[in-house]
Amino acid sequence: MSELLEYLVENEPSFRRARLPALYSDFRSQRTLNPDGYAANISAWKRGLGSAALAGRAPSQSAPRNHFTLELDDHGAALLAALESKQFGRPLALGTVFRDAIASGDLMPLQTFLAARESIYYKSWGSVPWSVVAWGLRQAGLDRGVTGLLGIDGSWGGEDRIPKGRFVVLQNLEAAAKAFSDAVADRASLSSPFERTFSKAHFRRTFEGSFLPSPAAAADKERQQRLSETDLDVLVRFLSRDKGILATDGHTIKIRTSTADDNATITEEDSAIASLKELAEDLTRQTEALTRRVDDLQVAAQDAVRRKNRVAGLAALKSRKIAEAALAQRHATLRQLDEVAARLQQAADNVQMVRTMQASTAALRGLNAAVGGAGRVDEVLDALREQMAEVDEVGGLIADVGQGTAAGAAVDEVELDDELEAMLAEERGKEEAARRAETEASGAEEARRALAELERLGPVPVGLPGEDKKEKEKEKRPPTPATAAAEELGGLSIA
């Protein structure tokens, strides 16, 4: 299986192995016999070839492969060879796929695309009559001969020829435009006019990684995708003419904003900013290279000293001094460019500020005109005071009427106070009864717990602890005269 076909099988769902026989067959007759199958095959080929081109897998004659265009030589020999399979051979209806893609606008000849002045999405009314005629011919069943005669479709017998030329793949441009818009939205620094202006080469180096998909396989990561010159021309043309994201004059590129005062043309100031930024970037790369050279020469000098090689050591030190002098000069120039860039950026910000202040002044002028000046404000306030006074007067009259009605229906205040006191006394009695009931319940609960504890402890012994034991020991001892006298004395009582 070829590299291109292997990529399609692994990355495109429509190119699973079970579908390959149908895709490689001559399905031109299915246009009338099986329109759904025909449309599915056409769509699968267009999507698959576009995806392969964007991934850098389609055949290309340029050194960095083109990602937004397809190159077709005589009869598409290179593409057919890249798609050839031992099991299925070569696709037999690929010419029909390309003619359908060109007719539908999915593919466009490169020169036609670059030379178009109006957006490719603009459809003039001149194309409507032919569309109506083509629809009528299809309804009458006469479209085969006409389309075959015009070379728009290969369904009317004959050889399925692949057109020769270079064709822009619209779906790839749409994907790149979306990726670029997302990348620009994530860069907060691009809000400044200075940061949104680039030379063509600087623009390519800055955003090249945003336009192309990152390789997923480890082997592919070694060959990082790069834009060809054709890719860059096509992409800038698409983003400026058809999407309105960029403004360019062919050398300077400016990212446009959605503000009303954004200029769609490139000015001299824009060109100067782009040249300054490119020069600063070039000097930065030079300083990095010179810094590495100084480090390498220092290592070489130290190595020569260890080897006792005086000549090599002196040569390395001399070269290091020259490199250090060049590095210092580059740094001095770069500092000057940074100062100029800061002034340019400040001037651009000042211009933006002045425009904002002018717009604010115009807005204030319009608002003040709508107000009508201080005299009109005084008139409005006087009228407002009069209306407020009238409202107060009407309110006072209504209040007087209400007071008169209330006086006619007088209420005994003493009777109301007595009734309120009775209600309060009743409420206090209820609260006191509730507190007594709660206290009695609490006392009963404590008494119940005390009785339960006494029952658990059992009956209380009559004598003191240990007296029984002493009595038994006394009975066991034999009586002596002393003990007998003590017992007699113990039995005596004092009257």
Percent of the chain scoring above 90 in pLDDT? 41
User: Is the dihedral angle over the CA atoms 431, 433, 436, 441 positive or is it negative?
Assistant: negative
CA dihedral 135, 137, 139, 145 (to 10 degrees): -120
Query: What per-residue confidence (pLDDT) applies to 131?
Result: 47
**Where is pLDDT greater, at 440 or 459?**
440
- 3-class DSSP assignment, residue 114: helix
Average confidence (pLDDT) over 150-179? 76
User: Quick check: 256 pLDDT over 60?
Assistant: yes
- Give the list of residues 6+ apart from residue 180 with CB closer than 8 angstroms, or none: 207, 210, 211, 239, 245
pLDDT at 186 over 80: no
Asked if the model's pLDDT at residue 155 lies above 70, the reply is: no
Q: What is residue 477's predicted lDDT score, i.e. its pLDDT?
A: 59
Query: What is residue 237's predicted lDDT score, i.e. its pLDDT?
Result: 95
For Cα atoms 407, 410, 411, give the angle at the middle one, nearest 5 degrees. 145
Over the chain, what is the mean pLDDT? Answer: 81
How do beta strands 69-72 and 165-169 pair? antiparallel
In the predicted structure, residue 37 carries a pLDDT above the cut 80: yes
Lowest mean pLDDT among 22-31, 66-75, 409-418, 467-476: 467-476
pTM exceeding 0.85: no
Among the listed residues 106, 252, 246, the one whose alpha carbon sits nearest the alpha carbon of residue 174? 106
Q: How far is CA 37 from CA 28, 102, 172, in A?
A: 10, 20, 25
Residue 473 pLDDT: 61
Q: What confidence tens digit (pLDDT) does each residue in 338-390 have? A: 999 888 888 878 888 898 899 899 899 888 888 887 888 888 898 999 999 99
Examine the pLDDT at 70 and tell me if it is beyond 80. Answer: yes
pLDDT score, position 484: 60
CA angle 321–327–332, rounded 5-degree value? 130
Bridge partners of 252, per DSSP, are 199
| Domain boundaries along the sequence of the chain | 3-126, 176-217+224-361
Confidence (pLDDT) at 293: 95
pLDDT of residue 148: 45
